[in-house]
Amino acid sequence: MNSSYGKMVRIGFWTVLCLSVFAWAPTTYPGYWRALEGYVPLFNATTIQAVADVATTPDVWRGMGSATFMLVQPLLLLGMGLEAAVRAVFAFALIAGGLGVYIWLQSALGDRAAGLAGVLYMLAPPFLAAIYIRGSLSDALIMGLLPLVLAGLRVFRVRRTPAAAGAAVFSLLWMWRVQAGLAVFATLLLLLYVLLIERDRLSTFIVCTGAVAGLVSLIPLWSIQGPPPVAFYDHFVYFFQLFGNGWQVAPSIAGWQDGYPFQLGFAVVAFSIVALWLRYAGRDEALAPFTARLWTFCIVATIGLILLSLNMSQPLWRITSADRLLRYPWQLLLLATPWLVTIAASLPRLNRTLHTTPYWSVLMALAVLSSYPYLTTSFTQLDAPAQPVAAVGQPYQDDAQQQPDQRDQFIVLAAAVSAGAPTETATAQLNVTWQTLQPLAFDYN
């Protein structure tokens, strides 16, 4: 593709497809990564529940909906192992997200800029952290499906194909049944996008159709309400954390010492700064009206979503009670990623020199090389049981919500008792293999 969706797909598409291997390669390593959610996706993948409830608090908004595992079940029927099937869905989310971004932006930015955007999206730290640090299958699928909705809307606007409209509606409905809370924010963004950027009534109708269908599908689940898994207002991001360079499997804790990686990524930030300079210093190529509107929208959406993840937005969260929808405020950084990479990837569109093959290749290389630290994680060779032996939690009082919860929770993966000969001095030993799901309030060493 170059200027329309009817032309042959060009190098940008194949570059996204080929370079996606760097993003999903860790899903093929032996074992399962030591993510913060542990084996929770595996435990719930084989149970038929509207909202996941094994080793996690079921909740219609924050919880994992049944559609999170919609792709796992067919893979299991084909004979794939449970761990392999879940890893394959993580890989699908990465590939779908990258290709979705490419298709969405190809007509506005051109083949090469759209290809760069797809690669930056797949290698964006918020996306990779959701997979390799948190191990959140629901968040990963939201990241994979949002670009598919945008791609469907854009293709429909250009070509008026029913298939594109159907893909957009289906992807949005899927998002609502994966994680409804994030889907609410994504839907609001999509409505603003079609009203202000696409400016098309049918596209607006498509978004409304998908959102209404998703909301109606949740009505039977309305009674599934759970307490907050963490103290929401303790987990706002500090601004400097958006530009950190640490990468470790560390839980999100209250305070500036939080070890969870919140960075936006070196390549994305650096490319965005250069793009903004080219655009507003008058050194850029002239943009078409649609592209100019898209650029402005991406800047406003990115800034708005980042501000909502910072502590200064706390009063707004309290007034609207929107904290009911999410586990952490910084989950909105996931939704900011497609808009931010659009700004960063517009370099080849803003400058003809950067559109040439040598310079474009350098941009691609920088995007891949700068993401290398984000593609490392630790693995375990422990075979996950079909279900945990037990889930243990210590109740606490959330001052913000005034509701009890099982925050300090861990799961027992295996337990065995060994005993010596039955004598007066005989002893028995209990061997337990367990995994924490939240930071414990006591020293377990």
Q: Are 103 and 175 within one domain?
A: yes
| Total domain count, the chain | 2
Confidence check: pLDDT of 383 > 90: no
Confidence check: pLDDT of 377 > 90: no
What string of H, E and C letters represents the secondary structure of 340-388? HHHHHHCHHHHCHHHHCHHHHHHHHHHHHHHCHHHHCCCEECCCCCCCC
In a domain, 286, yes or no: yes
Could you report the per-residue pLDDT of 118-161, keeping only the tens digit for each?
999 999 999 999 999 999 999 999 999 999 999 999 999 999 99
Are the C-beta atoms of 220 and 65 separated by less than 8 Å? no
pLDDT range class, residue 6, cuts 50, 70, 90: very low
In a domain, 441, yes or no: no
Q: Are 282 and 302 within one domain?
A: yes
pLDDT at position 221 is 95
pLDDT at position 402 is 42
Confidence check: pLDDT of 352 > 80: yes
pLDDT at position 83 is 92
pLDDT at position 96 is 98
Average pLDDT of 348-377? 94
**Average pLDDT over the chain, rounded to whole?**
89
In a domain, 1, yes or no: no
Q: Are 366 and 397 within one domain?
A: no
Q: Of the given ranges (271-285, 318-332, 343-357), which has the lowest mean pLDDT?
A: 271-285
Q: Of the given ranges (63-72, 223-232, 391-400), which has the lowest mean pLDDT?
A: 391-400
In a domain, 235, yes or no: yes
Give the percent of the chain with pLDDT over 90.
Answer: 69
Token pair recorded at residue 379: 């693995």
Q: Are 90 and 218 within one domain?
A: yes
pLDDT at position 314 is 96
pLDDT at position 426 is 63
Confidence check: pLDDT of 394 > 60: no
Task: Give the predicted TM-score (pTM) of the model.
Answer: 0.92
Q: Using alpha carbons, list the distances in angstroms from residue 221 to 6, 63, 267.
A: 42, 11, 42
Q: Are 360 and 414 within one domain?
A: no
Confidence check: pLDDT of 327 > 90: yes
Q: Are 293 and 236 within one domain?
A: yes
In a domain, 3, yes or no: no
Say which residue, 401 or 291, is predicted with more confidence: 291
Burial of 245 (0-12, 13-18, 19+ CB in 10 A): exposed
Q: Are 172 and 306 within one domain?
A: yes
Q: Are 286 and 194 within one domain?
A: yes
Confidence check: pLDDT of 395 > 60: no
In a domain, 6, yes or no: no
Q: Which amino acid appears at position 441 of this protein?
A: A
In a domain, 82, yes or no: yes
pLDDT at position 243 is 94
pLDDT at position 135 is 94
Average pLDDT of 327-340? 97
Q: Are 204 and 313 within one domain?
A: yes
Average pLDDT of 22-35? 91
Among residues 380, 399, 428, the one where a domain terminates is: 380
CB-CB neighbours of 409 under 10 Å? 18
Q: Are 197 and 309 within one domain?
A: yes
Q: Are 401 and 281 within one domain?
A: no
Number of H helices, E strands in the chain: 17, 5
Residue 112 host element (H or E): helix 111-122
Give the percent of the chain with pLDDT over 70.
Answer: 87
Q: Are 263 and 228 within one domain?
A: yes
In a domain, 2, yes or no: no
Which residues are 379's β-sheet partners? 33
pLDDT at position 444 is 57
Parent domain of 180: 11-380
pLDDT range class, residue 298, cuts 50, 70, 90: very high
Confidence check: pLDDT of 408 > 50: no
Are the C-beta atoms of 296 and 192 separated by less than 8 Å? no
Confidence check: pLDDT of 323 > 90: yes
- Where are the alpha helices (H) located in 129-265, listed in sequence order? 137-159, 162-178, 180-193, 201-217
pLDDT range class, residue 8, cuts 50, 70, 90: very low
pLDDT at position 3 is 44
Token pair recorded at residue 401: 């919500």
Average pLDDT of 213-219? 97
pLDDT at position 109 is 95
pLDDT range class, residue 2, cuts 50, 70, 90: very low
Could you report the per-residue pLDDT of 35-47, keeping only the tens digit for each?
888 889 999 998 8
